[in-house]
Amino acid sequence: MFADKAHDNQRSFNLLDNLNIEPAINIRKNASIKTKVCSLRRDEVFLIKKLGFEG
């Protein structure tokens, strides 16, 4: 699913995770990887920061 930064939230990522859908959601600049609630979002934020992508 492709979405903009308005969908960068726990609810959207949890829904995508439950439906086994790969997210393509722009992450906000101040996104944190410290969250323990939504592992899919945390993993996506970590990947984006590791690759150095800035959108």
User: In the chain, how long is the greatest CA-to-CA distance?
Assistant: 28
What is the Cα–Cα distance from 23 to 12, expressed in whole angstroms?
9
User: 42 is in which domain, residue-wise?
Assistant: 2-51
pTM: 0.72
Q: What is the mean pLDDT of each run of 10 residues along the chain (55 residues)?
A: 81 91 87 83 88 74
- End-to-end CA gap in the chain: 17
Write the CB contacts of 39 (distance below 8 Å, at least 6 apart in sequence): 17
What is the Cα–Cα distance from 15 to 21, expressed in whole angstroms?
9
Residue labelled with tokens 């492709």: 2
- Our count of domains for the chain comes to 1
